[in-house]
Structure 1
Amino acid sequence: MPNIDIDVSLIIHHFIHLSVAFVLALPIALNREAKQSGAGLRTFPLVCIASCAFMLVGMSVFPEPDAEARVMYGIITGMGFIGGGAVFKSEDGVSGTATAAGIWNTGAIGVSVAYSRYEIAIVLSVIGFLIFQFADPVKKKQRHDGKGK
């Protein structure tokens, strides 16, 4: 029978990181949910905490910087893949690119939190929220004024 060694302090350490990632993804997720975007309250926090978790595991299993960088590259690529599923092309043009970028942003938040770079994660969360909150009305006003599409 395998010996299961559970380090409670490590559980608490990782729980804090994952909780911070979750909280920092919420403003973007709530905005997207309120605007009935395809991705919302479930997608953005899950992407953020999964990115954080993958990076935390990578950092603990692969202490070499090159190996950690490969884990990060995998996360970045995965975010692009998930975001690609949010992009739709139609006769009217392309939609979902902002949602795809938002998914990528929340992945970056998760990685930042994993490395305890909270200042980066907070800035990404705030700026991401502000873009989603205020850019849409500006775009609509430009279209209405005849300056945009």
Structure 2
Amino acid sequence: MTLRLCGAAVAGMVVGINRDIHNKPIGMRTLGLVALGSAIVILSGSVYQDLHFSQDAVSRVVQGILTGLGFLGAGAILHGRDEMRVHGLTTAATVWIAAGLGVTAGLGAWFITIAGTLITLFMLTFGKRIEDWLVSIFGENKSADEDD
């Protein structure tokens, strides 16, 4: 499971590096968090389906939570006056991933919850430094600032 969670995070981060190099408003940390959140939800739904709820019921609950949290996350995204600066994307992704972690904890998927939390904290703590370093090597500074 750790390999799957890390693999999802790395895949999202790789796509995010591409976005950073091309001066897009969504970067490595944001897409890494989104991919990690997706893996957390998928793993919790597939591994822990034998609980008291049917798989269909758990799936509907998870879909409802993530849809609702998507709207909350969208409220955290702000456009700057120049319309080229976007703020709050990482916050929106963190809100969404927190929902995924809540789902895993609610299902009693403690390993996924702990591993997902640690990977998320790593990405939020060190992701910006790694992102800036990679952009300085491979691309220009991005025009949008996704820091919160």
| Alignment match of 1:81 (pick from 68, 71, 96) | 71
Distance 2:54 2:132 in 1: 48
**CA distance in structure 2 between the partners assigned to 1:118 and 1:136 by the alignment:** 27
**Percent of residue pairs bearing the same amino acid type:** 30
Q: Find the aligned partners of 2:62 and 2:119 in 1 and give their Cα distance.
A: 22
Is the counterpart of residue 129 in structure 1 residue 128 in structure 2? no
Structure number with higher relative contact order (C-alpha < 8 Å, ≥ 6 residues apart): 2
Separation (CA, whole Å) in 2 of partners of 1:63 and 1:130: 33
Match of 2:140 among 134, 144, 147: 147
Q: What is the rounded CA distance, in whole Å, between the counterparts of 1:133 and 1:70 in structure 2?
A: 33
Match in the other structure for 1:118: 110
- How far off is 1:141 after superposition? 4.8
Shift of residue 64, structure 1, vs aligned partner: 3.0
User: SS of 2:108's equivalent?
Assistant: coil
Following superposition, the deviation at residue 148 of structure 1 comes to 2.4
Structure 2 alignment gaps of length 5 or more:
1-48, 143-148
Q: Which residue of 1 aligns with 2:88?
A: 96
Structure 1 residues 1-149: aligned runs within 5 Å: 63-90=53-80, 91=82, 92-141=84-133, 147-149=140-142
Contact 1:142 1:148 in 2 (8 A): no
Provide TM-score, normalisation by structure 1.
Answer: 0.51
Max Rg structure: 1
Q: 2:67 corresponds to which letter in structure 1?
A: T
Q: Secondary structure at the match of 1:63?
A: coil
Amino acid at match of 1:79: L
Runs (4 or more) in structure 1 with deviation over 3 Å come to 138-147
| TM-score, normalising length: structure 2 | 0.52
CA distance in 1, matches of 2:131, 2:141: 8
Q: Which amino acid letter does the alignment assign opposite residue 137 of structure 1? A: R
* In 2: Cα distance, 1:104 partner to 1:85 partner: 12
Partners of 1:104 and 1:137 in 2: how far apart? 22
